[in-house]
Amino acid sequence: MTLRLKGRVAVITGAARGIGRAVAQAYAAEGALVYPLDRLGDEVATLAGPSLQPRTLDITDAETVNAVFTDIESQAGRIDILVNNAGVIFFKPVEEVSVDEWDHLLSVNLRGTFLCTRAVAPGMKRRLLGSIINVSSNAGVRGGLNESVYCASKFGIEGFSRALAVEFRPYNVAVNTITPGHPVHTAMSETTYDAAARAIWKEPAELTPAFVHLACQDATGLNDRYVRAWDLVQQLARGETP
């Protein structure tokens, strides 16, 4: 490792499993102080270590989000990197979707991203430095069968992020969205991928160089982009500058 994130403080949501967990471990290995957050408290607690300070958090609860982020800033002195990774999915024809199902998915995928971003905004703007990475999807740029609710949430992430990039640019804060860009083996994909996708899926750790690269950015670098993680990993491996 190159310790590219030495001295940085990172917060990652949905960090108990899959991509979020792999990114938390990669950031810690690169020298960051990392706060992995997840509602699955017992699972995220297994990440505990000198550079990993896990917390239990329901990102849909505004009061709790504010309290946890305030406590992190008080303890660490700053938050330099936010990865909004937490998300849920289901597949149903729109007429079969209940109001409760709509509200829950939008609450996790979109409201949670808003609440966590709002919590870090004052500090990042004040320090004139930061990187916000919002995990998106192919479903954020095109429709999918029986994915109307999930697509609504991810299209929302894209619009939210594009507006944030404009808002944060004067404060030197980068805002990007990232999608795996390749089938990835996670707890979610185990329930959604067909046999063809399972045959070629990558492990989450294989995508982490893309997340590390984005964490190093500010508004003068890679910014206001929809990034395909696997493509970026391959570019970096070839020594190309994105």
Residues noted as catalytic: 150
The count of other CB atoms within 10 Å of the CB of residue 233 is: 21
Closest listed residue to residue 26, CA positions, set 217, 236, 215: 215
Helices (H), 30-175: 41-44, 62-76, 99-106, 112-127, 148-168
Residue 14 in tokens: 């949905």
Closest listed residue to residue 186, CA positions, set 108, 89, 45, 92: 89
Residue 158 in tokens: 């894209």
**Sheet containing 9-13, strands listed edge to edge, beginning at the edge strand earlier in sequence:** 55-56, 33-38, 9-13, 81-84, 130-135, 173-179, 226-228
